[in-house]
Amino acid sequence: MIGREDEVREFRQRVWGFQTLLILCWSILVFRLFYLQIIKGDALRKFSEANRLKNEKLLPTRGIIFDRNGKVIVDNRAAFDVVVLSQYFKNTTDNASRLTKALEYSKEEMDKRLQKMGRTRSYIPVLLKADVSKDIIASIETSYPSLLGVDIEPTVQRRYPFRDVASQLLGHISEVDNRDIQQDSRKSMQPGDYIGRMGLERYYDAELRGVNGIGYVEVDAMGRRKKVEGAEKLLGFVAQTEPVPGNNLYLTLDMDLEMAAANALKSHKYNGSVVALDPRSGEVLALVNEPSFEPEKISGREINPKVWASLRDNKDRPLRNRALQDIYPPGSTFKLFMAIAAMAEGKATRHTSHFCNGSMAFGNRRFNCWKKHGPTDFVKSIRESCDVYYYNLGISMGPDLIAKYARLFGLGQPTEIKLPGEQRGLIPDTQWKQERFKEVWHPGETLSIAIGQGYVSTTPIQLANAYAAIGNGGFLYKPYIVKKVEKRNGELIKEFHPELKRKIEIPQEVFDTVKEGLYQVANAPGGTAIVSGHSKKIAISGKTGTAQVRSFSDIMRMKCESMPIKDRHHGWFVGYAPKENPEIAVAVIAEHACHGTAAAPIVRDVIEVYFDKKNASENPGGLEKVKTEIEPPRKQNTEEMDGEGGEVGPLNQEAH
């Protein structure tokens, strides 16, 4: 090594440095082990024994639903459930008594809950009470030392700020069951998930639901979440996969108009439906059904069975979306399509006249009109709703020609609105009767359908859409309710636009003549809605209709108001405004209201609110507040009504 002393010296220095570093590391390790084993040993042993990580499914926040102006219609709120793990809970008399008092249950209800716990695997939490109050949370927390295995579990509850307004349209949610999981084509549902059960919540469930996440939470030996504020976490942060929140829906609905329509129907104390559309696009502006219900009461992890039974068994069917799911005879509102067919086919002109002496003989029967109209031309037949006039038109055309034009305007077929449960209604013809009953069509049946009775049936949304097409000159749109779907961060996913179903090719003269008749209904002497449907704010065009619920040998011999409520006729009014280039079309069915004039004020009120709001937005210094509370119903003029005649043959189905 002679001559290499410097290299040896440098190598020895490196070895000493490495030895020093090694000794230092071992010293730190020994000190840390001494600290953990000796100084902190007892505390850490207890911490280890008393804690564990529990895998939990993290439910996503369901998407929010907004109206066309960005007003929140449906959102979410924080809620808390009380659960129990049977592997830790000691089901003693004292513990059961404490739980009964804390949860504000009866002994019988508490016994049922504890029996369910006994039938569930010990490591699976059992729900004791959902969406509990702050008082119950405080009571449970103060009883923690004795109620081992009982825990407070945070969750999210669906919130409907407008309570029962638009309930059938919006729908509700509930926890999935085995059938839902089996029918899930995407295989994404798990026990404990929530699914939409009606309306928009159901149809757009895949958009609103979101994706589950997975989290690990610290729990104590009793399975309860551990409060670790300020504590030392040996394992660092708790790993988790964040849930993906559901997407938001923006609707075409205007909640101011929706509330006005709901209040109008309620103030007149009728069950029924209101549908308001924009004739220029098919956008649904309002869709109301009465009676309604509060979705929040049946949109949780647990539903009160008494509340559900009261809704399910209610003879007035509050869960039913009448606007889409119920079919009714259209009554005199159907005469418009008769009039259009007759003019378009050359069976009548604006000057065609028939004499009405209050009835018409046909075969061996007499078909009545609701009054003697005398000489009646085309426009007067619409204005005063003369049955005899349309009996004659029906005879001249026959059922197949009538059906052709009614179907052109979308009657007897779904509107294709994206909502569940829409019914087709029925526009009969000779082929249908042969296939359905194996019978030929009888001429007297044509007189029945000529005034919207007999086999004919429609839904409120069909009539609203058909009259919108009359008002706009023949453009039949598909009604739609959702404008766009967005992610929570505002990123656009889908956007919906007006979709033209067909342009109805009918001469403009036909539309002009029919529209003049509709205008005179509410704005000219003799019009069937000159009092009940006339507005001092905006010119409303429309048509009254009275739909018989049952058939009577001579309807004129019995006053409707003297019948049992279930046998009284339904009242229709379908209209639009303004007369030229209408912006809103509204259909109202007032069940068992006896006359179409009962429905006309509701249409008037809704249309007036629409234009009040429009004027307020265009003139900020003018109207300060849009009227959403409707005035009490005015006294009905007994001379202002329309009838559908008598002895028109048996109805083939009741309205319900």
Residues 246 and 339 in one domain: no
Report residues of the chain scoring pLDDT below 70. Answer: 1-12, 15, 36, 40-56, 120-123, 144, 216-240, 551-558, 620-656
The CATH number that applies at residue 431 is 3.40.710.10
Residue 192 inside a domain? The answer is yes
Can you give the pLDDT at residue 28? Answer: 82
Residues 542 and 401 in one domain: yes
Q: Which helix (H) or strand (E) holds 102?
A: helix 93-102
Residues 598 and 472 in one domain: yes
Three-state SS at 319? coil
List, for residues 277-300, the tens digit of each pLDDT value: 999 999 999 999 999 999 999 998
Residues 434 and 572 in one domain: yes
Can you give the pLDDT at residue 221? Answer: 60
Can you give the pLDDT at residue 626? Answer: 47
Three-state SS at 141? helix
Could you tell me which residues are beta bridge partners of residue 72?
Answer: 66
Can you give the pLDDT at residue 207? Answer: 95
Residues 286 and 191 in one domain: no
Residue 353 inside a domain? The answer is yes
List, for residues 108-145, the tens digit of each pLDDT value: 888 888 887 777 666 677 888 888 888 888 888 877 67
Residue 275: both structure tokens together? 């549908």
Residues 208 and 321 in one domain: no
Residue 12 inside a domain? The answer is no
CB-based contacts of 317: which residues, under 8 Å, 6+ apart? Answer: 291, 656
CB-based contacts of 181: which residues, under 8 Å, 6+ apart? Answer: 189, 190, 191
What percent of the chain is helix, strand and coil (3-state, nearest 5)?
A: 35, 20, 45
Residues 221 and 284 in one domain: no
Residue 399 inside a domain? The answer is yes
Residue 312 CB coordination number (10 Å): 12
Residue 297 inside a domain? The answer is no
Residue 337 CB coordination number (10 Å): 25
Can you give the pLDDT at residue 321? Answer: 97
Burial status of residue 361 (CB atoms within 10 A of its CB: 0-12, 13-18, 19 or more): exposed
Nearest to residue 64, comparing CAs of 204, 206, 248? 248
Can you give the pLDDT at residue 553? Answer: 43
Residue 623 inside a domain? The answer is no
Can you give the pLDDT at residue 390? Answer: 97
Q: State the residue for tokens 């209050």.
A: 358
Residues 414 and 528 in one domain: yes
Residue 444 inside a domain? The answer is yes
Domain hosting residue 336, numbered range: 279-290+315-480+496-618
**Residues 76, 159: contact at Cβ < 8 Å?**
yes
Can you give the pLDDT at residue 331? Answer: 95
Residues 214 and 328 in one domain: no
Can you give the pLDDT at residue 565? Answer: 86
Tell me how many domains the chain contains.
Answer: 2
* DSSP letters spanning 565-621: GGGSPEEEEEEEESSSS-SEEEEEEETT-SSGGGTHHHHHHHHHHHHHHHHHHH-TT
Residue 652 inside a domain? The answer is no
Could you tell me which residues are beta bridge partners of residue 376?
Answer: 354
Residues 193 and 285 in one domain: no
Residues 431 and 323 in one domain: yes
Strand extents, DSSP E, 307-403: 354-356, 359-362, 365-368, 374-376
The CATH number that applies at residue 90 is 3.90.1310.10
Q: How far apart are CA 363 and CA 14, in angstroms?
A: 125
List, for residues 302-358, the tens digit of each pLDDT value: 888 889 999 999 999 999 999 999 999 999 999 999 999 999 999 999 999 999 999
Residues 210 and 285 in one domain: no
